[in-house]
Amino acid sequence: MNVDDLARKHLAATPSPTAEQRATARARLLAAMDDPDGTPEPAPRGGIALTAVGIVAAAAALVVLMPRGTPARQVGEKTPKPGSGGVVHSGPVAAMRVTGGTAHQRTLVARAAHLMGEDGGIREVRIHRNTITITSRPRPTSRQTWLAQVMGQELRVLDSTLREVTVNGTPVRTAARVDLATLRQKVHTAAARSALTVTGTHVYPVGVGAVSVTARMSVRQILEDRPLPYAQLRAIVPTGVNGLITVAPNRTVVGRLGGGPGGRVDDAGDPAPASPPIPTDLGGPTRLTVDLSEGQPGTTQRKILDCAGGSSTVTDPQAVCAALDRNWLRYLPPNLAARLCLGLAQPLEVTITGTFHGTPVERSSMSCPASPSEPDWAALLATTSTTASPARADGVAPAATAAAAALPVVGGPDRLARAVRAAVAAIGAPQMLVGVQVSARQVELRAPRGAASAVDFLWRMTVLRDEIHRRASRTGFSRINVLLFVGAKQEQLSPDWSDNLLTPHALVRLARTRLAGSHIDVRGVTALPVRVGAVRLDAVETAQQVLADDGPDRINLATVVPHTVSVDVRLRMADGTSLGEFGRASSLFFDRSAAPPDVSPALPDTLTGPTRLTVRIGAATAVIDCGSGQSTVTNPVAACADLDTHWLTYFAPQDGIACAMPGSLVTAK
């Protein structure tokens, strides 16, 4: 080995950055892109392409489409509420907790919060000397994030001794004071002249400048998904002033973009947007081509939906068309953030092209705030008039809370111990463990010696490991190492982590949708109540299927959920005879056949053909012919009877996945 290889091998152990590290760096880059200092020299050439300053101005604008019937053009500003100056607040900042700092600093925080006049979704403001850390409540809206950023900026203006202010970990940049009267005048004048359907503006009474603009977008505009007219927005909000864009055809907000020197925010608006009625002037046909895929070559399925009576490739076009009309905004969301959000790799993809009530539409899933979802579309296209009453035993498994409460969880910070206990309850198998040892850096799961004999032990433990890691991260312990000990021996778990984007209910829906074409009867799809993604399938094979030993069909069962989701397939026969269990725990495949019963299940009457087998054992060949008597064995009658009685022993299913895909999988013992 040469020195190059030696060094390369040694340094190759560097881990890849986590999604969290990537997201943080991305946020910092986007913040830097919002910084006017980030404009390269020489300045970009003209045209409509945005310069860095242009981006600031563009993202700084705010468009809020108000409810229909809202009085046009409400221009004004809210009256600031007096600051309480204390730690406990009322009104829009009631839930905000201020800790540390001097009385003067806490007063400034209260003042800045009240100047915003709205709930910024702030959970805590921590002051330590000349540093202020602002933390939002879980899942803040983009509007709340934006308000928190503006508040952070205002604090820097109010207290020039502050060295750093961060909002959810992102530093807030300093901004110059603006003259409020001038800003108000500029905004009002620009709004009046704008070609946009501006229905209101709001200038916040903060020194750093923060403006919102209200406008309206028609259903047709949303369907056509034209880029927002940034030039017009830029003309309303002056460069360098904070702003937010919110778009909604009615009371439903379908998207927000915002930013400025305080930072950048964008989201998809309300989580379940209520679709406005389709205007009567949209009278054309709905004809859509939908490509669904799991993001891997060869997995794309094309579906044609023709609501005008033409040929469709979905089961019940009428039911699908009705469901689409009722919820069109959910299935065809406008990608308002297109310019701020590039198409990034995503495990599930859907592309929709065609016309919706005569309006050309084109959508594709992207990791953007607003984009159509593949599981949503897969479920929609599977809609039938009888979908409402599925006969299957599907659902999300209950958490074993009581049993988990009895499990000894020793040591560690309380928050972490609670997170661990909750994860143990969620995976539903506390009895597999005898205790958990917790410290600030490590969680040791202790299982009794015989625990590993359970087929699904490692599967559950891998899911538990991932769920503990996820819950620990959420409670501030992001570098927890989770180890599993069976007796005194440490067990190895999959080196990869689950990275699931779907809720348990969505996973169940997705799996059931994709099982539509399976030849194997899946009686139940059960998701564990964990966000890392874990699904169990209860599948039943007929004797004919067992004899046919269709490995690929079994593999299909393990691929009904995204490859980042753990899946456990329990395979049995209709009489309950277990055939085995296989699946995937994170990236680690496992496959374990059940021991055949002493007497095989009776073969069904439908299997009426002859039995003729050629068996090769080494160099010897024997023929068993139970019909014509052309056997070469000594006692063919006894052999045929034995075959019928113990057919499952002699024709046990192959180790389904492992044998069907040699070389690419690991078989768990």
Q: Under the criterion CB under 8 A, does residue 14 sit at the interface with other proteins?
A: yes
Q: Which residues are within 8 A (CB) of 102 and not within 5 positions of it... i.e. 6 or more apart?
A: 127
Q: Is 405 in the site for other proteins (CB under 8 A)?
A: no
Structural element, H or E, at residue 418: helix 414-427
- Which residue, 497 or 651, has its beta carbon nearer to other proteins? 497
Binding mask 429-468 for other proteins (x = CB under 8 A): ------------------------------------x---
Binding mask 217-256 for other proteins (x = CB under 8 A): ----------------------------------------
Q: How many residues bind other proteins (CB under 8 A)?
A: 64
Q: How far apart are CB 292 and other proteins at their closest, in Å?
A: 12
Give yes or no for residue 609 binding other proteins (CB under 8 A).
no
- Six-digit token string for 476: 């501030």
Which of 293, 287, 312, 319 minimizes the C-alpha distance to 386? Answer: 319
> Taking a C-beta distance cutoff of 8 angstroms, is the pair 195, 229 a contact?
yes
Torsion of CA 104, 106, 108, 112, to 10 degrees: -170
Residue (38 or 100) nearer to other proteins, CB = 38
The span of 13-21, 316-324, 395-403, 572-580 binding other proteins (CB under 8 A) equals: 13-21
* Ramachandran assignment for 315, one of left (phi > 0), alpha (psi -120 to 50 degrees), beta (any other): alpha
If one asks whether residue 6 binds other proteins (CB under 8 A), the answer comes out as yes
Per-position x/- string for 345-364, each x denoting binding to other proteins as judged by CB under 8 A, each - no binding: xx--x-x------------x
Q: Does 161 bind other proteins (CB under 8 A)?
A: no
Contact stretch for other proteins (CB under 8 A) within 17-25, 297-305, 315-323, 592-600: 17-25
CB of 71 to other proteins, least distance (A): 36
Q: What is the rounded distance in angstroms from the CA atom of residue 278 to the CA atom of residue 359? A: 11
CA-CA distance, 243 to 150, in Å (whole number)? 9
Residue 365 found at the interface with other proteins (CB under 8 A): yes
Q: Is 60 in the site for other proteins (CB under 8 A)?
A: no
CB burial class (10 A; 0-12, 13-18, 19+) of residue 630? exposed
Structure token digits, residue 645: 């009685």
Supply the minimum distance, in Å, between the C-beta of residue 445 and other proteins: 12
Minimal distance in Å, beta carbon 56 to other proteins?
A: 10
Q: Is 297 in the site for other proteins (CB under 8 A)?
A: no
Give the helix/strand (H/E) hosting 585.
strand 578-585
- Supply the minimum distance, in Å, between the C-beta of residue 534 and other proteins: 18
Residue 499 token pair: 């990275």
Cis ω before 42 (30° cut-off from 0): yes
Using the contact rule CB under 8 A, the part of the chain among 99-107, 150-158, 428-436, 477-485 near other proteins is 477-485
* Interacting span for other proteins (CB under 8 A) from 274-282, 480-488, 508-516, 642-650: 480-488
**CB-wise, 36 or 551, nearer to other proteins?**
36
Stretch that binds other proteins, among 116-124, 241-249, 266-274, 341-349 (CB under 8 A): 341-349
Rounded Cα distance, 468 and 484, in Å: 12
Q: For residue 259, give the 3-state DSSP assignment.
A: strand
Question: 68-80: string of b/e by CB count within 10 Å (b at 16+)?
Answer: eebeeeebebeee
Question: Could you tell me which stretch among 27-35, 139-147, 154-162, 265-273 binds other proteins (CB under 8 A)?
Answer: 27-35
Give the whole-angstrom CA distance, residue 111 versus residue 133.
16
Per CB under 8 A, the list member of 67, 172, 232, 343 interacting with other proteins is: 343
Please choose, out of 42-50, 106-114, 140-148, 394-402, the segment that lies near other proteins by the rule CB under 8 A: 42-50
Show the site string, 90-119: x = touches other proteins by CB under 8 A, - = not.
------------------------------
Instruction: Pick the binder of other proteins from 88, 342, 516, 637 (CB under 8 A).
Output: 342
Distances from the Cα of 39 to the Cα of 25, 26, 54, 56, angstroms: 19, 18, 10, 10
- Residue whose CB is less far from other proteins, 447 or 643: 447
CA distance 211 to 367: 28
- 33 lines the binding site for other proteins (CB under 8 A): yes
Binding to other proteins (CB under 8 A): which residues in 492-551? 492-495
Listed ranges 175-183, 184-192, 338-346, 551-559: which one lies at the site for other proteins (CB under 8 A): 338-346
Taking the C-alpha atoms of residue 554 and residue 520, their distance in angstroms, rounded to an integer, is 8
Query: Distance (Å, rounded) from C-alpha 113 to C-alpha 527?
Result: 42
Residue 274: CB atoms within 10 A of its CB come to 14
Q: Where are the beta strands (DSSP E) in 248-358?
A: 255-260, 263-267, 287-293, 301-306, 349-356
- Count of Cβ atoms closer than 10 Å to residue 213 Cβ: 29
Told to check if 3 binds other proteins by CB under 8 A, we report yes
- In whole angstroms, how far apart are CA 89 and each of 98, 108, 113, 272? 9, 13, 10, 31
| Binds other proteins (CB under 8 A): choice among 239, 481, 630, 632 | 481
Structure-token pair, residue 66: 């108000």
Residue 318 CA to residue 313 CA, distance in Å, equals 12
In Å, how far are 267, 566, 590 from 455, measured between CA atoms?
42, 15, 9
Using the rule CB under 8 A, is 17 a contact of other proteins?
yes
Using rule CB under 8 A, residue 663 touches other proteins? no
Our CB check for other proteins shows the closer of 239 and 490 to be 490
Q: Which is nearer to other proteins, 351 or 600 (CB)?
A: 351
CA angle 221, 224, 229 (to 5 degrees): 60
15 binds other proteins (CB under 8 A): yes
- Asked if 488 is part of the footprint of other proteins (rule: CB under 8 A), the reply reads no
**Among the listed residues 7, 103, 599, 602, the single contact to other proteins using CB under 8 A:** 7
Contact segment (CB under 8 A) with other proteins among 36-44, 114-122, 205-213, 624-632 equals 36-44
DSSP state of 314: S
As measured in angstroms, the least distance from the Cβ of 289 to other proteins is 15
Residues contributing to the site for other proteins (CB under 8 A)? 1-17, 21-22, 24-26, 28-30, 32-33, 37-38, 40-42, 44-45, 47, 49-52, 55, 339-340, 342-346, 349, 351, 364-366, 465, 469, 479-483, 490, 492-495
